[in-house]
A = this chain, B = another copy of it.
Amino acid sequence: MEEVVILGIDPGFSVTGFSVIKQSGNIPIVLDFGYLKLSSQKTLAIRVGEFFDLFKKKIELYNVTDIALETSFLGQNAQTFLKLGYLRGILYLLAAQNQLTLHEFAPREVKQSVTGIGSASKEQVALMVSRLFPNLNSLSQGVKSDVTDALAIGLCGVWAKQQKELFSRFK
């Protein structure tokens, strides 16, 4: 299997959770995780620019090969939904500029993969993520669900890639 480094990301203008997971043999290793808060005091353009800059750096620093994203669905507010599109557009641009593969998973798919239950709560996802990565200390102390979501999304990316690899071996 080629080296796979997944940037798992749960974008949002208030908080964006992210994870960088490397597949080493059969073991996923977390290289980085955290969140980005964009100040609502700044213009939208500046915030979009900061989002681009941070993830461009992460992609270069860790030689990211793939981006994993959750599919978004329209919620209560159409303008918030449109603006979420701005951040997703930046990730598509980064994928194009760095020749990354982009994976999209339905939220149900992510929950199903990580917990075995498609309708799992954020807490259940967080619990499973902390069990899958027992060494992430700050996780066991309870970290923001945006970050555990991003770790779950990144894991989905790793597993999807692994499955593809398995299938191609048996072809």
On A, residues with C-beta under 8 Å from B are 43-46, 48-50, 52, 72-74, 78, 81-90, 92-93, 95-97, 100, 102
A selection of 10 A-B contacts at a CB cut-off of 8 Å is A43-B102, A44-B92, A45-B100, A74-B74, A74-B82, A82-B84, A84-B85, A86-B88, A86-B92, A88-B89
Q: How many copies does the complex hold?
A: 2
- The A contact surface, by secondary structure, is helix
- The answer to whether A48 touches B92 (Cβ under 8 A) is yes
- Write the nearest CB–CB distance from A54 to chain B, whole angstroms: 13
Complex Cα gap A106–B92 (Å): 27
- The answer to whether B92 touches A45 (Cβ under 8 A) is yes
Nearest residue in B to A82 (C-beta to C-beta)? B85
Question: With a CB–CB cut-off of 8 A, which chain B residues contact A46?
Answer: 96
* Contacts A82-B82, A82-B84 known; 4 new A-B pairs at CB < 8 A: A48-B89, A48-B92, A52-B96, A86-B86
Given contacts A72-B82, A81-B81, A82-B82, are A49 and B88 in contact (CB under 8 A)?
no
Question: With a CB–CB cut-off of 8 A, which chain B residues contact A82?
Answer: 72, 74, 81-82, 84-85, 88
Question: With a CB–CB cut-off of 8 A, which chain B residues contact A87?
Answer: 89
- The 8 Å CB contact of A83, one of B44, B45, B74, B85, is B85
